[in-house]
Structure 1
Amino acid sequence: IYTLIIETIGFILIFLYYNHNQLYSESVSQTIFFSIFHTISSFNNAGFSIVEGGMATSLFPQDYFIQYTTITLIFLGSIGFIALSDIFNNLRKKNNPKKWLWNRLQIMTKLSIKVTLFLIAVGALLFFIFEFNNTNIGASFGEKISTAIFTSVSGRTAGFSIIDSASLSTPTVLIFIILMFIGASPSSTGGGIKTTTFYIVIKAAMATIQGKKQVTISNRSIPFSYVDRSYTVILFTLSLIFMGTLLVSIFEPQFSLEEIIFEVFSAVGTVGASLGISSNLSVASKYIIIVLMFVGRITVLTLALSVVRKTMYTNYSLARTNISI
């Protein structure tokens, strides 16, 4: 129900704005269809646009209203249905009304929101720094900031683009490869290894360096089975990306490694972003990209668990041995 509520509000806002300003369409019916399509595409992090010539060649780069409406929809879709359900349930039931809404949320919800906002902030800041002199991101200071925020939000999970991605510098491309790899939160409409997986691995690494015996978050310990799964997801995803990059590079020797890696990371993260080579890929490479998108959507861990038979649990342990690391 909260999905319908969010998308309905998004549709109403976009429709009223477009209909009042008579933008992108010539009739009310076209405006209604466009508003519905763009709202659903944004919330579901699909990244599809029916604007002729694409969002980068239309009025979108200067249209702050549609930019921030789209940003909000993408953000809500990327934090996950678990987080949305928790937020809506607390708003509806109003348990412990003396507490702020934030203090009533589950740790999982807080973590999803915190990591998502952190990634957006870091991505926007680095994009702004690396592309400040890029004339394609806007002429004024305000346009540059708005473009940086929009690109950071959309480039991580959705794939909408209001600039020419081919004009981005190598450092910016690298940043967005990392953001696409991390992706959205669990049970969300986005892909990637998930924000919680990224956070758990970082916390586990810090705990190891500090010599701690457990991984904690908000005075709660994280079971080591979750840590093991997080490392497994990253290992399997990187292996999938390596194989995808290798295969595509065999069939597409005319493209640079940077372009191919970006394309593969985008496919595995189900982002849909590209440096402009998607339409020029061979049939073989397109099938490879399709497989990568499919596996990225269901996640590599789900695929592995479905094809590998589990071993029976045995209540004993073998003698230990030491191996240098």
Structure 2
Amino acid sequence: MVEKTRRKFNHFLIHRSPTEILISGFAVVILFGASILTLPIATQSGESASFINALFTSTSAVCVTGLVVVDTGTYWSIFGQVVIICLIQIGGLGFMSFATMFFVLAGKKINIRNRLLIQSSVNTDSLSGIVKFAKYIFISSFVIEAVGALLLAIVFIPEYGFSTGTGYSLFHAISSFCNAGFDLFGNYSSLTKYVDNYIVNFAICAMIILGGLGFAVTSDLIFVRKFKKMSMHSKLVLTITALLLAIGFIFFFIFEFNNPKTMGNLSLHGKFLASFFQSVTPRTAGSNTIDIAALTTPSIFLTMLLMFVGASPGSTGGGVKTTTLGIIVLTVVSVLLGKKDVVAFKRTIIGPLIRRAISILVIATGLVILMIFVLLCTEPGVAFERVVFEVLSAFGTVGLSMGLTPDLSIGGKIAISITMFVGRLGPLTIAYAITQSEKRSRENVGNFKLPEGNIMIG
């Protein structure tokens, strides 16, 4: 029986593309997690959770989103919370990273097909050193999470006791680095009680940013260090990330400065901390230190824009990615200045990368519009801005909500679950699929080129 199952599994791997296996792998992990969360032992009441709520929670955890239909801290038991954080860790680092470490520890050789799977999972263009890179992902993640947990323990252990404080520290360190946004504080409060706590704000923000930069960038930060010597990818990611953080901080500070429901009653240093945290968290993190539903309209719109952009390629976050935004902005600037080539950091950005960025943006926009329409149908009477916010949060795997998630209908829960799943895998798999199709096109067509045509634009 075991041998027969092994043969079927190998047959599946051989006859499926890396992208198909990646999607199937995430789906299997989600279903497995949902089945465990339906067990009576997973809830504090001892009653089985409904499958749709378990499936939504598992999808949100594996897709490192953070949207929840039931309160994580009060509904799920310690067993259920451990299951959730394990799903977050697997979803954040990618199940292929765990499979790679299993192969390495078991002394098994990583063949070329497994290397292609790892390449697809971590979203890189090169197979060179892919196994070593997967090891780096695994080790660096646990080191960052361990340091973050130690910092959080300084606050949580004195407040909650050693065992609970340690558990809270580990849970929120993993959740933050994986950009998941799940919390255990109860009543959907997230980190609002720590709005002006320096240690909690620093630890959480640092882990969110490091998790959202992408493992290739953190590798450059550790081993290369000097900005001039870093790869073009790292330079673009760091530049766009810094700009988004600065812009978000400035505008949130202005928009919420006198809002009594968010930052109006805070001290000046509290307003600085809250503004910076709010500029960090829409980048697919999902935690919040101020009431999201109470934000001013300009702040809500700014949060939507940041959620749509999201984190960076090869990271634990979602969205259309910082590099996609960077390439498109550079392309527009190049066109406006009448330049022939799109240039960044004294390097030319090649045509296929520009086409890939535009494709991801268009497909992502189409998906968001479709899901907004679906949710407007499944949730009649809900304010338009709450629906748009919910969909963008799900697509960007952010986890912020204006309070709509717990009140979603079954149809709405299914729609948001699909959005989270596609949002986590969509841009990654689309980019990989386009890359492969470009390679096949070059191989099949060779030097043959069709006559050029002209179309009026604008």
TM-score normalised per structure 1: 0.90
Indicate which of 287, 292, 299 corresponds to 1:160. 287
Partner SS, residue 190 of structure 1: coil
> Counterpart of 2:243?
118
For 1:160 and 1:277, locate their aligned partners in 2 and report how far apart those are by CA, in whole Å.
16
Match of 2:355 in 1: 228
Unaligned segments of structure 2, at least 5 residues: 1-138
1:74–1:158 contact (8 Å) kept in structure 2: yes
CA distance in 2, matches of 1:88, 1:192: 25
2:263 matches 1:129: no
Query: Which SS does the other structure have where 2:312 is aligned?
Result: coil
Give the deviation of 1:308 after TM superposition: 12
- Deviation track 1:183-227 (CA, whole Å, cap 9, x = no partner) reads 101101110110011000000111111111111111111111000
Bigger mean CA offset, 207-216 vs 71-80 = 207-216
> Structure 1: which 5+ residue stretches go unaligned?
92-100
- Which residue of structure 1 lines up, in the alignment, with residue 185 of structure 2? 51
C-alpha separation in 1, matches of 2:244 and 2:198: 21
Q: CA 1:117–1:57 in structure 2 vs 1: closer, same or farther (change >3 Å)?
A: closer
Cross-structure match for 1:83: 217
- Does residue 3 of structure 2 align to residue 3 of structure 1? no
* TM-aligned CA distance change 1:46 to 1:301, over 3 Å: closer
Correspondence 1:240-279 to 2 at 5 A: 240-279=367-406
Query: How many Å apart are 1:309 and its aligned residue?
Result: 9.6
Residues 147-170 of structure 1, C-alpha deviations (whole Å, 9 max, x = no match): 110011012210101111111122
Residue type of the partner of 2:360? V
Q: Distance in 1 between matches of 2:168 and 2:141?
A: 19
1:299 lines up with 2:437 in the alignment? no
Distance across 1 between alignment mates of 2:432 and 2:227: 35
Tell me if structure 2 keeps the 8 A contact 1:137–1:143: no
Structure 2 residue 442 is the aligned partner of structure 1 residue 321: no
Structure 1 residue 102 displacement after superposition: 2.7
Alpha-carbon distance in 2 for matches of 1:37, 1:87: 26
Following superposition, the deviation at residue 58 of structure 1 comes to 5.3
The 5-angstrom pairing of residues 34-73 of structure 1 reads: 34-55=168-189, 59-73=193-207
Which whole-Å CA distance do the structure 2 matches of 1:57 and 1:42 have between them?
Answer: 11
Residue correspondences, number: 312
Contact 2:191–2:287 under 8 Å retained in 1: no
Read off the aligned partner of 1:293 and give its amino acid letter: M
Q: Residue 17 and residue 275 in structure 1: after superposition, are their counterparts in 2 closer, same or farther (change >3 A)? A: closer
Deviation, structure 1 residue 103: 3.0
The structural deviation recorded for 1:316 is 2.2
Tell me the CA shift for residue 110 of structure 1: 2.1
Contact 2:193/2:289 (<8 A) preserved: no
Mapped to 2, the partners of 1:218 and 1:309 lie a distance apart of 27
What SS does structure 1 have at the residue aligned with 2:313?
A: coil
User: Percent identical across equivalent pairs?
Assistant: 35
Q: TM-score, normalised by structure 2?
A: 0.65
- The farther-off stretch of 275-284 and 136-145 is 136-145
Residues 1:174 and 2:174 aligned together: no
State the AA in 2 paired with 1:7: E
Q: Could you list the per-position Cα deviations for residues 246-270 of structure 1 after superposition, in whole angstroms to 9, with x for gaps in the alignment?
A: 1110111211111111111111100
Matched, 1:106 2:231: yes
1-side partners of 2:151 and 2:387: how far apart? 38
Distance 2:191 2:176 in 1: 18
2:223, 2:141 → 1: CA distance? Answer: 13
Q: Is the 8 A contact 1:252 1:281 kept in 2?
A: yes
Question: Structure 1 CA distance, aligned partners of 2:235 and 2:222?
Answer: 14
TM-aligned CA deviation for residue 53 of structure 1: 2.8
Q: What's the C-alpha RMSD, in Å, of the aligned pairs?
A: 2.0
